Structure 1
Amino acid sequence: MTAPEMAVIGGIYTHTDVHQAAVIDSVGRHRDTQPFDTNPSGYEPLLAWLRAQGEVIAVGMESTGAYGAELARFLTASGITVVEVDRPDRKARRAHGKSDPTEAYAAATAVLSGRASGTRKSRDGVVEAIPALRGVRRSAVTARAQTINQIRALMVTAPSAALLDKLRGLPTGLLIDTLARTRPTGDLAVPSCAAKTSLRRLARRYQTLQQEIEEADADLAPLVTWVAPSRVALPGVGTETAGSR
């Protein structure tokens, strides 16, 4: 009669280059720990190693939405239950020491004890698509602010009183449109010509960033409305605010 297969629980400490995996049995005894590459060529050996230890009940893992996202997807697709493990506080880590194997065993133990019971953070749904789009939008907004600041700073130092008199006091939108339509001519070795040329280029950069932000808003609007319709319906709440978490 064949003996029943031992039940085991895995734990994985995720990194950018190497994932450290560990296995414990159903009473918490450490069985083995091994490092595996953080790419598809390392996922199959990791899965085979886990299954060779016994019947895999679950695998605890930190960063299932970041460093461990791809591996978590692979294990889930392979029929393995992946449990999100919260990162222990720093005081606890100092008390028990910190090493990759120790962290991997701790992830497995957290599942066994019930301390970790969260569903892995999927990166496949609309909820995770929104932050990616918002991140690009946010960087464009930052770059746009830097551009207008650079324009205004250059206007202050530009060696052309006539230029300053014409532009001083214009609202941002009109200022950008005016500068973008200019056609500076002359020798770029002359400071006033170089300043005018630079201002025109900066204005065009601002317009490009503005268009990028508007396109991002157009992409985000239907996704945010679908995920958070009640937020979008609130007075004064736009796509950017409603899409924040």
Structure 2
Amino acid sequence: MAAQDIAVVGGIDTHADLHQAAVIDSIGRHLATEQFETTPTGYRRLLDWLRSHGEVLAVGIEGTGAYGAEIARFLTANEVTVVEVDRPDRKARRDNGKSDAIDAYAAATAVLSGRAAGTPKARNGIVEAIRALRVVRKSAVKARTQTINQVRTLIVTAPSSVRDKLRGLSAKELIDTLARSRPTGELADPACAVKTALRRLARRYQALDEEIKEADREIGPLVTQTAPGLIALPGVGPETAG
């Protein structure tokens, strides 16, 4: 029987530099497995290799939200049905051990059996743009919170000559005061060292705060364009809607 007369299902175990692909026939027999580089040329070779075994019904991919995102996009663009596979089949792991080839075959088998039927996110267009920008914003918010916590911890343990001057200030007043400060003296003096550290942390906080505001200015119009009805709801802003 010619390859074009055979229906096959593919499976891909994804990694940073190499993807392990496997192909099975319509009754689940293992036909072949091979590694391909995670490059445009590698993706093209992988698709050609799959098609050399027969008509590709679908390809199961583990990790479409991470290492498998680009190969999923590539296959979809080439009119191949892509199915998201949550994890390798555990029974296959118990029976055969752990290997990339086993995981790739397990991904294909999960598709053929119907155990895996999820549609991966497209990861393109405006929604993907919002996601990318929110990743940066989220990390900046986390770093800003860490910075203000470090400021407060340093103040608690600072000499009273430093601590007393900062007592009772709001967070904004505290950051503004510390950022404008000009410590003098020797860094070997704990009071001078604490003042210097507090000024640097305050300026870091301000830089992160501005980064977050910039991200909001970028994300806001995109979210409004994508989900105007959601933004219109009371109490829902661009960050929540995003």
| TM-score, structure 1 as length reference | 0.86
How far 1:228 moved relative to its partner?
Answer: 3.3
Structure 1 residues 193 and 202 mapped into 2: Cα distance closer, same or farther (>3 Å)?
same
User: How much has 1:97 moved relative to structure 2?
Assistant: 4.6
Contact kept in structure 2, 1:6 and 1:25, CA below 8 Å: yes
Deviations 1:141-195 (A, max 9, x none): 111111112112222222352x322210100001111111112223333322222
- Number of residue-to-residue matches in the alignment: 241
Other structure's SS at 2:236 match = coil
Query: Counterpart in 2 of 1:144?
Result: 144
> Equivalent residues in 2 for 1:60-209 (5 A)?
60-87=60-87, 90=90, 93-94=93-94, 97-161=97-161, 163-209=162-208
Over aligned residue pairs, what C-alpha RMSD do you find?
2.4
Deviation digits for residues 174-232 of structure 1, max 9, x if unmatched? Answer: 11111111122233333222222221111111111111111111211122223333332
Deviations 1:48-104 (Å, cap 9, x if unpaired)?
211211222221212122111111222223332222223257577536654322222
Letter in 2 for 1:114: G
User: What is the aligned partner in structure 1 of residue 226 from structure 2?
Assistant: 227
Answer whether contact 1:72 1:82 (CA < 8 A) is retained.
Answer: yes
C-alpha separation in 2, matches of 1:3 and 1:96: 28
User: d(CA) in 2 for partners of 1:172 and 1:227?
Assistant: 34
The answer for unaligned runs of 5 or more in structure 1 is: none
- Does structure 2 retain, via aligned residues, the 8 Å contact 1:14–1:63? yes
- Residues 65, 122 of structure 1: 8 Å contact kept: no
Q: Say yes or no: does 1:237 pair with 2:231.
A: no
SS at match of 1:21: strand
Cα displacement string for residues 2-29 of structure 1 (whole angstroms, at most 9, x for unaligned residues): 8963222211111223211111122222
Correspondences of 1:10-89 after superposition (within 5 Å): 10-87=10-87
- Please state whether the residue corresponding to 1:53 is helix, strand or coil: coil
Structure 1 window deviating more from structure 2 (198-207 vs 86-95): it is 86-95
Amino acid at match of 1:9: V
Read off the aligned partner of 2:36 and give its amino acid letter. F
- The percentage of aligned residue pairs carrying the same residue is 70
Q: Secondary structure at the match of 2:24?
A: strand
Q: Are the counterparts in 1 of residues 159 and 191 from structure 2 also a CA contact under 8 Å? A: yes
Gaps in structure 2 of 5+ consecutive residues: none
What does residue 213 of structure 2 align with?
Answer: 214
TM-score by length of 2: 0.87
Please give the secondary structure, in 2, of the residue aligned with 1:119. Answer: coil
CA distance in 2, matches of 1:143, 1:4: 55
Opposite residue 47 of structure 2, the aligned amino acid is: L
Question: How far apart are the structure 1 equivalents of 2:211 and 2:233?
Answer: 26
Counterpart Cα distance in 2 of 1:62 and 1:40: 19
Shift in alpha-carbon separation, 1:62–1:3, aligned structure 2, 3 A: closer
Contact 1:82 1:120 in 2 (8 A): yes
What is the one-letter code of the residue matched to 2:155? M
Query: In the alignment, is the contact (CA less than 8 A) between 1:61 and 1:85 conserved in 2?
Result: yes
